[in-house]
Amino acid sequence: MITNIKKKLARKRSLQPLSPEEQSEWDQLRQYREKAIKESGAKLAEHVMTFNDGVIAIIITIVLVEIADPLSKSAYQDFFSQIFIYLISFFVVANFWYEIHYTFSFHIMRAGKMTMVCDFAFLASLSLIPVMTKWIMGDLSVLSVVCYGIVYFLVQIFELATEIVGDAELTAAYQDLPEVLGSVFLAELHLALPAQFGLYFDIFRPSKVGDDFVSGLPNHQLCHAR
C-alpha cells in the first residue's frame, strides 16, 4: 500500500511543470539526443564500410590460398591455369568492392536496418566466391561454371538491393521514389545481369575445351572414347 502511494506521488511530481532552468536543461538534452540519433546513422555507415573492406580483403586472401603448389613439372600447366582462374576471381571481387564502396559514398549517407540487411546478404553471397573458385580449379566443368555464375548473379542482386534501399532511406520523403528505383532495378536485372553471366560463361566454356580435346584424338582413340 505504501509503495503504491509513493509511485502515485512520484507520478504526480513528474507531471508538474518544470522550472525555467529545468526546462532549458531538458531542451538541451533533447536536442543532444536528436543530434546523436541523426549522426549515429552516418557513423554506422562508416563502420559498415570498414567492415566491408575487412571481409572483402579476407575473401581475396582465401581465394589466393586455394592455389596448389606445383610439385612436379607435369603440374605446371594446372598451376598456371589456377593462377589465371584466381586472377579472374580477384578482379570480380575487386569490382564488387569498388561498386559497394561507390554505393556507400554516393547513395548511402546513413545506414538503416534494411541497408545493413542487404549489405550483409551481399557479403554472405560474395564469401561463396572462394568456394566456387576452388571448385573450378579442381573440376572445370559446365556445372562448376554455372554455379559460379549463379553466385555472381546473387552478389550483383544484393549489391543493387543495397544501393536501392540506401537511396530509398536517404530520400524517404518522396513516396514514388521506391517505385521508380524498383523499375530501374528490374531493368538492370533483365539487361545487365544476363549479359554479364553470359560473358563469364563464355570465358571458361568447359564444353568447348572438351570438344577440342576429343577432336584432337586419333581416330581409334576417338572411337574408343565414344
In contact, 88 and 203? CB cutoff 8 Å: yes
Residue 220's pLDDT is 46
Asked whether residue 27 is assigned to any structural domain, the reply reads no
Query: How many CB atoms are closer than 10 A to CB 105?
Result: 11
Backbone angles phi, psi at 205, to 5 degrees: 45, 65
Q: Is 61 within the bounds of a domain?
A: yes
How far apart CA 94 and CA 9 sit, in angstroms, is 64
pLDDT, residue 141, reads: 87
Is residue 46 exposed (0-12), middle (13-18) or buried (19+ Cβ within 10 Å)? exposed
For the ranges 52-56, 116-120, 162-166, 211-215, which has the lowest average pLDDT?
A: 211-215
Least confident residue range of 44-48, 114-118, 215-219: 215-219
> Residue 84 is part of which domain span?
44-225
pLDDT digits over 141-186, tens only?
Answer: 888 889 999 999 999 999 888 888 877 766 554 445 555 556 555 5
* Domain presence at residue 33: no
- pLDDT tens by residue, 34-65: 665 565 556 777 888 889 999 999 998 888 88
Count: domains in the chain: 1
